[in-house]
Every structure is written in structure tokens, then in C-alpha cells.
Structure 1
Amino acid sequence: MKRLTRHSIDNGRQRLGAAVDTLRRGDNSVVWAPQAGLRLGNLLYLWLHAHQQSAIGTPVVVVETQGMQDWWEQFPALRSLSVTRAEVRFSDRREWDATWLYQRFGVDFERAELRAFIHDVFADRAAGAVDERLVVNVRRGDFYGTEFEAKHGFDVIGYTTAAVERFPAEQRVLVVSDDPEWCRCHLGDHLRSRFRDVEYAAPDPLQNLLALASARRLIGANSTFSYWGAYIADALHPDVEIVMPRFHARMAHGTDAHQLDPRWTALAGFH
């Protein structure tokens, strides 16, 4: 008997899946995201896609993945854009953009669609808070010291040093990071030499997102979490100044961040 290889099994499953999908003729579509591996920044693009498609009369929801329920509790509007796996019907169409993850600004979504989503999901929590400090977001975590560094790692110190030069000295600074101790050690001296008061936020995903969303002056990171903080701040507050790295990650289609609003200042290099 011929031994089945992993490749032949995977191909068989793909053909079976494609055949079954031809039988799914329901009116609703489900974004069939992986059960694990996506965090808030990536998930929000899926919910944005569901929101904008549903708004034009094509009902779309996102299947529940690991960690979603915590965000449903904080932002209840996200629950209406989601389904648990038990709630998915056989007739529901399945879709998944494995290449771009629905993240291309101006292609997968426009500014008006983004702002409509932000108003419906975040306005109740974020609209009233405005922070006049310069907010600096630094993404560390598993982007460094793991297998992800080859894809996402870049010169954080060089980029941050160049970015802060675009803002007046003598103002107050809030550093928001998943590794504030690294920021104190590697960025603290330069920040203290330029700005009169430097604070470090505790690493808490919800409070960190709200801190970015409240900023009128924001230096972001090559992170979807950072992009969403900037989207919310830009949508809810006038005269926002946002600086981001042009670099996002080393990918087959290039290194530039296709998520950036073209009105923001994007700094090239540092990778």
C-alpha cells in the first residue's frame, strides 16, 4: 500500500474543503481566522472588515479565536461582529485573507469606513480623554529574542531618537510599552536629556490602547496595536500629529507598512 505523505494529506483536505465550500450558499459570511496566534491589533482589522461589509448589506462576522472574549467585555460592539464556532451554520460562507489580513489602507478599507467603525466601537470609551503629552509607543515583546525578530526587528533606538527630534523639547512624555524596563535602560537617558518630564506606563493592553488613543502627539511602532491606537486618536481628536516607522516587517511583498494612513509622517530606514 502506498504510504500517504503529509503533503498529499494536506492537498486532499484542501480539495475536500473547496468542494464543501461550493455547498455553502447562505447569505452570511464568516471570516475563518486561525483559532490562535492573532492578538488585538490583527483582530481589529478582521472586525473592521466585518463592520464595513455588513454596513453595505453583506453580512459578515468573525469566528471566535483565542482571547476575543476579553475584548468583547471591554468593547461590546465587537461581540455583534463575532460568532462562536458553535454559532456557525453549515450554510455560512467562509472567507480568509491569509496574505494581507484585510490590513491595506486604501485597498481593504478607506478612512471613512475606518472612522465609522471607530465611532461605533471606541467612541464611548475614548472620545473624552485627550493627553497633551507626547506619547511614545515602543513594541518589544516577542518581536525580539524570538524567531519573530528576523521578521519584525528593527533599530528601535535609532528610530525613536529620530522621531522625537520632530517634536519640540521641554514637553512631557509618556512612554507606553510592553517592556518599560527596556525603554528606561535604552531610551531613558536621551528622553530625559530632551524633555522635562518622562513617565512610563505600566504594561496593560487595555490601558495602553486607551493611552495611545488619547494622544494628540504620538510616536508609534511597527505594530498593528500601535496603528490602531493612532487610528483611534486620529479619528476622535483634531490636529493630531502622528509619526510612524515606514518599516513594518520583512515580507514577500516588501517591508513597508501598508497599514499606514498616508497623512501621517512615516520615517524610512532603521531596518
Structure 2
Amino acid sequence: MSELRRLPARIAGHLAWRARRAGTVLADRFRRGDRTVTMTPPVGLRFGNWLYLWLQAHESSAAGQPWLVLEAPGMADWFDAFPGLRELTVARDEVRFHDRRVWGERFWNQKFGEEFSRRALDAFIADVLAPHIPVDDSDTVVVNVRRGDYYAQDHLRARYAFDQAGYIADALERIGPAARIRLVSDDPEWCRKHLGLLLSHHADEVVYEPRGAVGNFLAVSGSRKLIGTNSTFSYWGGYIAGVLHSDAQIVMPRFHARTERGTDAYHLDPSWTIIDGYH
């Protein structure tokens, strides 16, 4: 235990969660309650990842098989924006002994067309998310650039980093000229410095969104024209935009991460424009 305490908090928290999971495997085989709980780790997943778990809970519950997602730190920030998510979530002290447990981790219900269907996805969006998202029917192109820990931490950079400037230049050509671009990112200053000239060549006006995570998500998911990057935040923006707009234009990179299974994203909607390369 003393060695575990010396590790960085996020790593230590995840290892402790894995140890608890291993310790309950035998007991889980005998749980026969009438509802299932997805046991989320305390660190490692964020809003885009959680949405795939809530999607699974929504689909199963709608089919008459109650399913909830264990509340994790950070979830509460999203409940005010999307109240229906709270109804699909259970606090740790409200988990019953006989609740069936599901410990994900490998794919986390993120494989489009295999672990979830378009029908289930659209129903979840229509019921839980879309009613709370302002719809932007203009020709504004929203560009969502994920930076953050993907580029700040060496081990994540090695896994997720790619040529964002080259990809975005290609994506802008695919989507066509625009009067206005809204740049949404967790690092707008980097984008202004490294993408500003490129963006200004494709639009008369470029706006850098200053808002936080919730505001950024509303801007991305309400858009009709979206260029995303290799992030579940972008993917969910694309899913939702496709429900809100029958003529949505969604561009995403095929690259997601360097893993033992390859580099292609398994989250992508095949109706999107998918760009290869740049990694």
C-alpha cells in the first residue's frame, strides 16, 4: 500500500480500482439483482467516455432491464446541463449488494455498429441530450481541437498526438469555404498561434470560444458543420449534430490512437467524411 501511495494520484486511483474489481469477481458471479451497474473507475474517463456508458444504460433500461452508471468524480458538472443523465446514474452509497456489476475497461461500449447501434444512439440523443442543446442552423464551421493531456503528458502524446494542422487544412478543403469559423478547444491559445493563419484563409471571421467544457460541448454538438479531432468529445458532437441536422456535414480523422489493435477509431459513424493519414 505504501508503494501505491507514492504513485501519481491518477495512476494510484486507477490501480486501486482495478484491485477492487479483481477482489469482487467471485462475488459478482452470485449477484442476481434486478438491475445492473457499470462500475466506473474514479479516474481515467471523462464526459465523452461516460456518454457511451449512459447510452448503454439508456438502451437497456428502455428495454425493461434497469441499468445505471456508477457516479464518478466530475459527473455532477454535467447533470445541470443534461438532467436525464442523473436518472441514469447511481451514487456509490446507493449501490445494492445484489446489483449486478459490469466492469468495462477494454472498449467501454464505444464500438459503433458493434457495441451500440445507430437506433439506440439516436434514441438516447433524442431523449436525453438534444432537448438541451441550442441548434445552430447557420453555415458556421465549428472546429473542435483536442489538446490538453494528449499533448502535455509524454505517454499520452506518444499514443494520441498527430499532425493536427495538416489534418485540419485537409478537412477545411473538404467542407468548403465558410463565412465564419468557431474554434472550440481546451487550448485556444495554441490554436490561435498554430492554426490562426490557416483558419483565416478559409473564413472571413474566426472566433475562438472562451467557454468551459459544458459551453464548448454545446457549441460543438449544436453545429451543422463540424470538423472534429481524435476525441470522444468530438465524436459525440458529430453524433448529436447528425440528429439535430438532416444535412449535417461532419469531418473526422480515421486515426484515434496508437494501440496494439492498430490506429483506426472504432467510434466513427460511416456516414461522416473520414480523412486518412496525418499520423
TM bucket, shorter chain: over 0.9
Corresponding position of 1:169: 177
Q: Distance in 2 between matches of 1:76 and 1:151?
A: 34
> Do the aligned residues in 2 keep the contact of 1:179 with 1:203 (CA within 8 Å)?
no
What is aligned with 1:211? Answer: 219
Question: What do the CA deviations read for 1:95-133 (whole angstroms, capped 9, x no partner)?
Answer: 022110100000111111101101111222126443420
Aligned equivalent of 2:264, options 237, 256, 267: 256
Give distance in 1, aligned partners of 2:120 and 2:22. Answer: 35
Please give the residue correspondences for 1:1-271 in structure 2 after superposition, counting only pairs within 5 Å: 16-126=23-133, 128-146=135-153, 147-271=155-279
Alpha-carbon deviations, 1:213-235, whole Å to 9, x = none? 12111101100001111111111
Aligned equivalents of 1:13, 1:172: Cα separation in 2: 50
Higher mean displacement: 222-231 or 126-135: 126-135
Residues 140-170 of structure 1: per-residue CA shift (max 9 Å, x gap): 1111031211111111111011111112225
Amino acid at match of 2:132: R
What secondary structure does 2:142 align onto?
A: strand
Residue 71 (structure 1) shift: 1.0
CA RMSD of aligned residues (A): 2.1
TM-aligned CA distance change 1:237 to 1:94, over 3 Å: same
Contact 1:52 1:113 in 2 (8 A): yes
1:225-262 per-position Cα deviation (integer Å, ceiling 9, x unaligned)? 01111111111112001000000111221111100100
Indicate how the Cα distance of structure 1 residues 192 and 83 shifts in structure 2: closer, same or farther if over 3 A, else same. same
Which stretches in structure 1 are left out of the alignment for 5+ residues? 1-5
Query: Deviations for 1:78-101, whole angstroms, at most 9, x for unmatched residues?
Result: 011010011000000100221101
* Contact in 1 for aligned 2:139/2:179 (Cα 8 Å): no
> Residue 14 of structure 1: CA displacement?
6.5
Distance 1:11 1:221 in 2: 30
Q: What SS does the corresponding residue of 1:150 show, helix, strand or coil?
A: helix
Structure 2 unaligned runs (5+)?
5-16
- If the length of structure 2 is used for normalisation, what is the TM-score? 0.90
Decide whether the 8 Å contact of 1:151 with 1:250 is kept in 2: yes
* SS of structure 2 residue aligned to 1:159: helix
Aligned length: 265
Between structure 1 and structure 2, the one with the greater Rg is: 1
* Residues 233, 240 of structure 1: 8 Å contact kept: yes
Change (3 A) 1:222 1:170: closer
In 2, Cα distance between the equivalents of 1:22 and 1:217? Answer: 47
TM-score (norm 1): 0.92
Deviation at 1:65, TM superposition (A): 0.4
* Counterpart residue identity of residue 37, structure 1: G
Asked if the contact 2:141–2:223 (Cα under 8 Å) also holds between the matched residues in 1, the reply is yes
